[in-house]
Amino acid sequence: MKDVKAYARRKDIAVESAFENSLIGSGMVPPEKYPEAYSLSLRTVLFPIYPRLNAADAGKVSKLILTLP
């Protein structure tokens, strides 16, 4: 996820961890108890995709997703 965040930052697109505020992401649940959930939380990011996104920004996000490392 660090590579994806750094790559997005270079392209001026803000991404964030999808499960940062979840129980597993915040550390309230021990990772060894749910290893699959923990693994998923480390590999999932949110991209800025929403209905009112203008065409130019949508194109930037699309290009970013297509060229992810």
pLDDT of residue 25: 87
DSSP per-residue letters across 10-56? HTT---EETTTTSHHHHTSS-TTTSHHHHHHHHH-EE----TT--HH
Q: Which segments of the chain have a pLDDT < 50?
A: none
What pLDDT, in 10s, does the model give residues 52-68? Answer: 999 999 999 999 999 99
pLDDT at 46: 93
**Residues 57 and 50 sit within 8 Å (Cβ to Cβ):** no
Structural Rg of the chain based on CA atoms: 14
What pLDDT, on the 0 to 100 scale, is given for residue 32?
93
